[in-house]
Every structure is written in structure tokens, then in C-alpha cells.
Amino acid sequence: MVESVWVGFGSHSVSAGAFLPVLPTTPFLLLASGCFMRGSPRTANWLHAHPTFGPILTDWYQQRTISRRVKKRATVMIVASFSFSMYMVPALWLKGMLLLCLIVLLCWFLRLPETESVAGTAENS
């Protein structure tokens, strides 16, 4: 019973991360990975072996890093989603709170170390 709840949360997290166009995928994948590890190790292994999602999770769990490409995309999407939210919210104090949250989030996120991809560089050919 409890395992199916974890699998359900994980499934919703993967769906939200993959299909919501304005939100970064990485936090949803990390949440899904944690849920699947508790509810279905088989599904967690599938997610970690996935050609698109696996490298992001591996970088995070092994080195606590993200790739430069993921970081750039996520930064653009974070700024875009917060900007849209600030545009839509009518109250000035809410706009201020959103701006404060954006600044705090970006200060944390931009300080995360980046993965150096050396496999495709000219030195390795």
C-alpha cells in the first residue's frame, strides 16, 4: 500500500517535470527518483538508466553537480516562470515576495557546481 503511494508520487513528478513547459525538470526528477527508491526500486533503476533523465540524476547523486547545459536552460526557465508569475499577480506585495524568492533561488542555484563534460572534447578524439 505505502509503496504504491510512493510510486504514484514519483509518476506524477516525472509527468510534471517532463510536460510542464515553464518549469525546470531537474527538481521533479530528483523528487521522482526519491519516491521510486522508496516505492519501486525497479522503476528507480529504469529512471536512472534512462538516456535523457539518467545522466542528470547520476551527476546529482554522485557529485552533487549539474551540467552547464541543464543549468543554462533551468536558469532561463526559472526567470521566465517567475517573470510570468509577477506579471500575472495583481498585488504589489506578492510581486515583491516573488522577486525575493527568485533572487534567493537563483543565488542558490547558480552556485551549484557544474559537471565538466570531457568525453566529447577535441582533446579526447
Tens of pLDDT, residue by residue over 21-46, are 656 677 788 888 888 888 888 988 98
124 within some domain: no
The closest of 5, 61, 74 to 33, measured between CA atoms, is: 61
Whether 57 and 99 share a structural domain: no
Mean pLDDT of 100-125: 76
Whether 57 and 38 share a structural domain: yes
Whether 8 and 45 share a structural domain: yes
Domain final position from 42, 64, 86: 64
Whether 45 and 2 share a structural domain: yes
The closest of 76, 23, 79, 100 to 92, measured between CA atoms, is: 100
Per-residue pLDDT tens for 52-103?
A: 888 888 888 888 888 888 889 889 988 998 999 999 999 999 999 999 999 9
Supply the range of the domain harboring residue 106.
67-118
3 within some domain: yes
- The total of other beta-carbon atoms located within 10 Å of residue 33's CB is 23
Whether 19 and 7 share a structural domain: yes
At residue 11, the pLDDT reads 82
- Residue 15 pLDDT > 80: no
Domain final position from 64, 88, 108: 64
What is the count of structural domains for the chain?
Answer: 2
Whether 3 and 46 share a structural domain: yes
Whether 5 and 53 share a structural domain: yes
42 within some domain: yes
Whether 45 and 5 share a structural domain: yes
31 near 13, Cβ under 8 Å? yes
